[in-house]
Amino acid sequence: MRILIVTPAAPGSRHGNRATALRWARHLRALGHETRVALEWDGRDCELLIALHARRSHAAMHAWKAAHPRRPLVLVLTGTDLYRDIRSDADARASLRLADRMVVLQPKGLEELSAAQRAKTSVIFQSVRAVRRQTPPRSYFLVSVIGHLREEKDPFRAALALARLPQAAIRVVQLGQAMSPEMGRQARALMRAEPRYRWLGELDHAGAMRWLARSHVMVISSRMEGGAHVVSEAIATGVPVIASAIPGNIGLLGERYQGYYPFADEAALAAQLARAQADPAWLAALETALKARSHEIDPLAERAAIARLITDLTRSSEARSN
């Protein structure tokens, strides 16, 4: 098939939507499909449109369906779709109606949809190629925080938690682009106030993975996530995760995972970090829990799930034509 993937994330950006679009394109090409990635539908002929982001890709979805009402349309739902936009934005809700099939990136995303919407939705986990775990520092406990600095990520919670661990040999290294001048100012102010905190800005993917691979733990402190790719990367690398107890994180790590803390509660986060540093058996239990989920983020599993989705769409399209 000729397939177009539409994502609002620009070429060269390291936003999760762009990474998802490019990874899906690689899988689709490996399955034999001619696949392009673009910011919007440009009117060029194709047989299937895959859109990421219900609100921001709505115009492309609407134009595509107006021109090709019988051709299939897939919508991949992001965290801001599931946990904000579809509750209040008319374009996002209209995109749910336009889509022939939808995809969520972790199973708890289904809970945000109606029964009718769930019936046309698949769960496809984001895949990661394993990175070799490196030996963590011996003289201090290294915590990595990886993701762009924006409000939805609650990005400074780990840095703030250090104030509740005044004697601990813990260092927090934060990677990611400041998405506003204010976020950059806050990061620099925190570095001046807390010498155990460093903000390194945006690194390339290989550089970020080197920091992750040598961390004792990774913290993901987000307010909302559709299914954070960096959590899958931590699973693949075997780095324990301390996570805000939000649906997007629970959907990836499991209901029984022990490394959660209540969102925005730095006292509880500090307690989890202190336990991770002081209790090797507990830290090992987190690693074991991650290994039990590693099959979900295998690249071949993601490719097989995408192949099933395309097969189902093809059959449904042929049935409509007949």
Band the pLDDT of 321: cuts 50, 70, 90: low
Cα dist from 104 to 31, 80, 81, 120, 135, whole Å: 21, 12, 10, 11, 34
Q: Output the average pLDDT for the chain.
A: 94
How far is residue 49's CA from residue 35's CA, in Å, rounded to a whole number? 10
Q: Where are the alpha helices (DSSP H) in the chain?
A: 16-30, 58-67, 79-80, 86-88, 90-98, 115-119, 157-161, 181-193, 205-213, 229-237, 247-253, 266-278, 280-291, 299-321
| Residue 90 CB contacts under 8 Å (≥ 6 apart), including other chains | none
Q: Is 175 exposed, middle or buried (0-12, 13-18, 19+ CB in 10 A)?
A: buried
Residue 7 has pLDDT above 60, yes or no: yes
Residue 177 tokens, joined: 């682009």
Q: Which of 209-223, 244-258, 306-320 has the lowest mean pLDDT?
A: 306-320
Summarize pLDDT for 26-47 with one digit per residue, the tens: 999 999 999 999 999 988 889 9
What sign for the dihedral angle of Cα 48, 95, 55, 79? negative
Residue 62: the pLDDT is 96
Band the pLDDT of 320: cuts 50, 70, 90: low
Band the pLDDT of 129: cuts 50, 70, 90: confident
Helix (H, G, I), strand (E, B) or coil at 252: helix
Residue 295 tokens, joined: 């099959």
CB 147 within 8 A of CB 230: yes
Chain CA centroid to CA 83, Å: 13
Residue 213: the pLDDT is 96
How far is residue 220's CA from residue 228's CA, in Å, rounded to a whole number? 9
Residue 144 has pLDDT above 70, yes or no: yes
Please tell me the pTM assigned to this model. Answer: 0.91
Summarize pLDDT for 197-216 with one digit per residue, the tens: 999 999 998 999 999 999 99
Residue 317: the pLDDT is 65
Band the pLDDT of 18: cuts 50, 70, 90: confident
- In Å, the largest CA–CA distance within the chain is 71
Residue 299: the pLDDT is 95
